[in-house]
Structure 1
Amino acid sequence: MVTFSANLGFLWADLPLPAAIRAAKAAGFEAVECHWPYATPKAEIRAALKETGFEMLGLNTPKSAGGIGQFGLSALPGHEALARAVIDQSLSFADDIGARSLHVMAGIASGAAAQASFCAALTHACHQAQQSGLTILIEPLNRYDAPGYFLNSLAQAEEIITSVNQPNLKLMFDCYHVERSEGDVITQLQARLPLIGHIQFASLPNRKSPDQGTLDYTQVFAAIEALGWTRPLGAEYHPDGVTENSLDWMHTLRP
C-alpha cells in the first residue's frame, strides 16, 4: 500500500516543528520529513518523534553558511572546506534525531570545476554517513524555481551518482521538479528506480496538493505501487490556507 510522509517545510509550516510532527500524526500521515530543522532543539524533535512513533525520513543541508551560498554550497569551487564542515554538522544533527537521510544541496554553479567540487563533497558525505547508516540524497531542481542550480536534470544526477560510486548515495526523485523539467514522470520513475532513495510529489504547475493541476497522481501513485515501492512518499506542496483543509487527496488518490 502507498503511504505518505508530510514534508514539514511546507505542511504546517506555521507551527513549531514538534507541533507540526504531532499534527501530521493526527492527520493520518505515516512519516515526516523536513527542510532545515537546525533552530529547533534536538531533544524536542526526538520527543515528538517518540510520541508519534514517526521516523524523520530526511532533512537538507543549509542553503548558506558564513554568508556563502543560496541553494547550498557543495558545488561551489573554492569553498570545499566550508561545504564539508556544513555536511558534518548536518549529519551530526540528522544522526542525533534519528533521521534516515540527508539531502546535500549543491548551490548555484556550473561547469567542470563545480562538478568536481560537488562530487568531492558527496564522497566526503557518503563516507561520513556510513558511520550512522544514513543515506545521502541529491535532487535535481527545475530551472524555473531554482535558476542556476547546479543539479538540474536526471541524467546529470545519474552521471554524478555513477561517478561518486558510493552505495549510500541515492536520487531524490521529486515528481514536481521532474515533470516541470523533463516530463513523463512514470517512465522516468521506471527507468531510474534502482537509483532512487526517496520520492516526493506536488501538483503541476503550481506546487499545490496533488489532486490539483495537470499531473494525474492517481496514475502516478498506482505506478509507484506497481514498481514495488514500499517507503513513504513525501508530500512536499504548498497548501492553500490551513494544511488540514488540503488533505482530501490522502483518501481520494491513494491506490
Structure 2
Amino acid sequence: MPRFAANLSFLFAELPFLDRFEAAARAGFKGVEVMFPYAVPADEIKARLEANGLSLVLFNLPPGHWDKGERGFAALPGREDEFASAVDLALRYAEALGCPRLHAMAGLANHGATREAYVANLRLAAEWAAPLGVDILIEPINTRDMPGYFLTRTADARDVLDEVAAPNLGLQLDLYHRHLMEGDVEGAIREFVSRARHIQCADPPDRGEPSNAIVDYTRLFALIDRAGYAGWIGCEYKPRGETQAGLSWPAACGVGLG
C-alpha cells in the first residue's frame, strides 16, 4: 500500500511550523511535504526531520509574489532569470534536506503564461536537477481554488511531459484537483499513474479529510496499490477540525499512514 505524507502547510496548523514535524511523527506519518520551506533555514528543518525519523518527500519551487496573487512563474516569459534563481535555491534546499521531488508551479494564464516559456523553463529545471537525483513535477490545478491557473487538465500535463522529454520530469497527480476539473478520478489513475511521481489527496468539495462520501477513497487507494504505484501520497487537505481529531480516515479507507 502506498505511503502517506503529511502536508505540514495544511496539517497541524494549530502548531508552530517546526513543531508540526513531531506531531506528524506521533500521528504515524513517516513522510512530510510542505509548500514553501524557504522562510526557515534548511538546517533547522533537517534537525526536525532527523529527530523525528521523517523523510521530506516534496516541496514547491519559490512561487513568485504569492501575497500579490502570483502562483508560480515557470510559464511566464521574461522571468527566465528569476526562474533560474528559484531553481537554484530550491535545489540547494533539496540537497540539504534529501528531498527528491520539486513541484514547479506554472503561473496564471492572465499573467501572460505561454506553453513555449513553460517548456523551456522545465527543460532547464530538469537539466539542473538531474545530477542531484531530483525530479521536477508539474501539477494540473483546479480553477475554483486557483482561478486562472495555466495548467488545469491531466492530458495537457502529459503533452508537456512528452514535449520536454526529460526522464526526471514527472506528473504530480492530485485526485482532488482532478475531480473538480474533470471528474473520472478512477480513469485518471488508470491512464496516468505510470506518469505520476507523486499523488495527493483531499475530499471534495471542501478539501477536507479523505472519505468515501463523494469519491470512494477506499476504492481509489486500492486501485493505486494494484497499479503498482510505489511513491508517496501527500495529504494536502484542510482538516475540518484539529488535525489529530480527523485522523480516523485512514482506518475508514482501509489504509495505514506508514
TM norm structure 2:
0.93
Q: What is the CA-CA distance between 1:18 and the residue it aligns to?
A: 2.7
Opposite residue 149 of structure 2, the aligned amino acid is Y
Question: Larger deviation: 186-195 or 200-209?
Answer: 186-195
Describe the SS at the equivalent of 1:209.
coil
Contact 2:197 2:231 (C-alpha < 8 Å) held by counterparts: no
Q: Say whether 1:182 aligns with 2:170.
A: no
**Which residue of 2 is the match for residue 133 of structure 1?**
133
Describe the SS at the equivalent of 1:57.
strand
**Which residue of 1 is the match for residue 3 of structure 2?**
3
Q: What is the CA-CA distance between 1:62 and the residue it aligns to?
A: 2.0
Contact 2:61 2:90 (C-alpha < 8 Å) held by counterparts: yes
Runs (5+) with no aligned partner, structure 1: none
* CA RMSD of superposed structures (Å): 1.9
Q: What's the CA shift string for 1:201-222, capped at 9, x where partnerless?
A: 0001110000264111011111
How many residues align? The count is 255
In structure 2, what is the Cα distance between the partners aligned to 1:150 and 1:232? 25
In structure 2, what is the Cα distance between the partners aligned to 1:109 and 1:81? 20
Distance 1:197 1:66, change over 3 A: closer
Q: Say whether 1:150 aligns with 2:150.
A: yes
Contact 1:63 1:69 (C-alpha < 8 Å) held by counterparts: no
Describe the SS at the equivalent of 1:107.
coil
In structure 2, what is the Cα distance between the partners aligned to 1:184 and 1:173? 13
Q: What is the CA-CA distance between 1:225 and the residue it aligns to?
A: 1.0
**Which residue of 2 is the match for residue 104 of structure 1?**
104
In structure 2, what is the Cα distance between the partners aligned to 1:169 and 1:15? 34
**Which residue of 2 is the match for residue 84 of structure 1?**
84
Runs (5+) with no aligned partner, structure 2: none
Q: What is the CA-CA distance between 1:111 and the residue it aligns to?
A: 10
In structure 2, what is the Cα distance between the partners aligned to 1:193 and 1:132? 24
Question: Larger deviation: 80-89 or 112-121?
Answer: 112-121
Contact 1:5 1:232 (C-alpha < 8 Å) held by counterparts: yes
In structure 2, what is the Cα distance between the partners aligned to 1:86 and 1:232? 24
TM norm structure 1:
0.94
